[in-house]
Structure 1
Amino acid sequence: MSAMPQQRGAPGPSPDAPDRAAAARPDASMWLLNQVMDHTLDEGYEEEAARRAAEGRTAETGPLRPWLIAGTLLIAMVITLGAAQARSSLPAVAKERRELIDRIESGTERADRLQEEVDALRDDLADREREALREEGGEQAELTALLAGAVAVTGPGLEIVVDDAESVAQGLPDGARDDTDTGRVRDRDLQRIVNGLWASGAEAVAVNGRRLTALSAIRHAGEAILVDNRPLVPPYTIRAVGDGPVLRDAFEEFQENLSSDLLTLEELEEYFGIQVEMAVREELRLPASAGLTLRTAEPLQTGEGNTP
């Protein structure tokens, strides 16, 4: 039996094959990763690093490094100084604010004390003037004090309440008043009412609790009506002490006799919507005048050029 021929191209076993297998690396199949790990720096960078090392400097200490360090230090210094200055100025600002608040509060308290002293002195002066009227007025002392508004009065009388038309504040923000609105009570309207009450025989008159005298003035300042330089707000309540029914009839007659260019209360109510209420009261109380002013007059001496 003849032996089978050996297949062509199939090498036979080599005597040193076991030695080469033993010497092969276990990670030989990962040669690309090995190259990356063993040569982390590109050859060009390696050459540049070697050149710089030969020149006595490293990659971390390039020629721009000192300027960068100096700039960084300067910025840090500016920030530090600014923070320190801001921190030191905060207590000073707070202290100045506290001092200013204390000064305001102290000034307000002082102003309040002075106002109380003024009010007390004014009341004391009014009391002394009233006492002087009672002592020096003679037989007409009570009448003089009454006309001067030096004493409070109580008695029957007439009460008139006038108020702006209901349409005055409509369409205006926050109840603001239009100075051109004809439905608004004017100072001349109050003047006409007060003068009519005096002419009708009123013994004493007050508007919104402020007693009127022969020296009282009713004016306007912007939208406000002033009585003796004190502002009033609507509705305006005018009280007059006297015989109520007689005073009412006399006042209505006074209104009818007004000239054609003056409006009566009825016309103000009819044409402009001003609200008017009139009533006879059995008892009214009017306070004394807050700003009593006394003036005296002496009769003229007869002589040449003077009419006795």
Structure 2
Amino acid sequence: MCGMPQQPPIRSTPSRPSRPDASMSLITNVMDHSLDDGYAEAAARKKSAGEGGLPKTLRARLGLAAGLVLAALVVTVGAAQARVAAPVVAKERQELIDRIDRETAAADKLEDSVDQLRDDVEARQRQALSHSGGNAQADLAGILAGVTEVHGPGVKLVVNDAKEAGSGGSGNPRETSGFSDTGRVRDRDMQRVVNGLWQSGAEAVSVNGQRLTALSAIRAAGDAILVDNRPLVPPYTVLAVGDGQRLSSRFQDSPDGLYLNALQDNYGIRTAISVESDLRLPAAPSVIVRTARPTAEQTKTGKGTS
């Protein structure tokens, strides 16, 4: 009996067991290849260059040498530019100095012109008053107002800071405006000195050559004392025209003279007073006649100005 040909049995090939993370292929790829190919290639290139290139110490020395060459180049260029600009700067400085000299000379010339014009005005005023019979009164008014130069006997008083006077201190019982150095002469000290001389009979007073009038002001600007807005420096020399001996005695016995002695005893401010036989005081600058009225004699004769 014939039967059908018998086929060999089919043998199945055993398969490998699947990985437990087979379903997480993306995460597995990231974990297995965490470094990007481009980064890996660059790292390999750098490694090969380091192994086959210049040593690190040599490269560092070459970099340092290049930096020094660059710095030297910058310094050289700066020096060259400075040498080029130096003549221009010197020329501009000299031009500025010349301009200051010219302006100073022009200012001095104007001051001389003002003095000449003032003298001419005073001469014309005296001449006009002499024609109206008021010459003596005009001279007296000019002396008292400070518009004319005066000379005669009087008192010379020198007031100076204490020897140890400085710019610092811990407190000043005679000063309430914030100054701390008790050894310095203050503006109010000079005010009391000048007012005391006037009250003691002085006919004319000047401080460091600055003539005082009824409109003069003695004030402070920092540590400086200003007389009619002009700064003065110590020692302060006060000249007072009058009866010298009597003026000296009355001033030293006055409250202002005693105040000056207290400053000398308590704070070391230096003072010296002497009687002089002849003192010369200049005229006060920029005195302007604001009002005028005729005298009794001029009123009778119908003469005078207003």
Provide, for residues 178-220 of structure 1, a one-character-per-residue CA deviation record: whole Å limited to 9, x for no partner. Answer: 9411121111111111111112221111111222122222111
Using the size of structure 1 for normalisation, the TM-score is 0.60
Which residue number corresponds to residue 96 of structure 1?
88
Deviation for aligned residue 1:109: 2.0
Rate the CA distance shift 1:91–1:266 in 2: closer, same or farther, 3 A. closer
Which residue number corresponds to residue 159 of structure 1?
156
Say whether 1:295 aligns with 2:257: no
Rate the CA distance shift 1:87–1:214 in 2: closer, same or farther, 3 A. closer
Amino acid at match of 1:295: V
Amino acid at match of 2:287: T
Indicate the SS of the match to 1:264.
Answer: helix
> 1:247 & 1:86 partners in 2: Cα distance?
72
Rate the CA distance shift 1:203–1:133 in 2: closer, same or farther, 3 A. farther
Contact 2:168-2:181 at 8 Å conserved across structures: no
Contact 1:130-1:145 at 8 Å conserved across structures: no
Deviation for aligned residue 1:147: 2.0
Deviation for aligned residue 1:242: 0.6
**% identity of equivalent residues:** 43
Rate the CA distance shift 1:188–1:263 in 2: closer, same or farther, 3 A. farther
Which residue number corresponds to residue 131 of structure 1?
123
Say whether 1:276 aligns with 2:268: no
Deviation for aligned residue 1:239: 0.9
Point out where structure 2 has 5 or more consecutive residues left out of the alignment.
Answer: 1-65, 170-177, 294-306
> 2:114 & 2:260 partners in 1: Cα distance?
37
Say whether 1:264 aligns with 2:240: no
> 1:117 & 1:191 partners in 2: Cα distance?
34
Deviation for aligned residue 1:99: 3.1
Contact 1:145-1:151 at 8 Å conserved across structures: yes
Using the size of structure 2 for normalisation, the TM-score is 0.60
Rate the CA distance shift 1:108–1:196 in 2: closer, same or farther, 3 A. same
Contact 1:157-1:280 at 8 Å conserved across structures: yes
Contact 1:135-1:141 at 8 Å conserved across structures: no
Deviation for aligned residue 1:238: 0.7
> 2:81 & 2:184 partners in 1: Cα distance?
56
Structure with greater Cα Rg = 1
> 1:124 & 1:298 partners in 2: Cα distance?
24
Deviation for aligned residue 1:133: 3.7
Point out where structure 1 has 5 or more consecutive residues left out of the alignment.
Answer: 1-74, 173-177, 300-308
Deviation for aligned residue 1:85: 7.2
Tell me how many residue pairs correspond in the alignment.
219
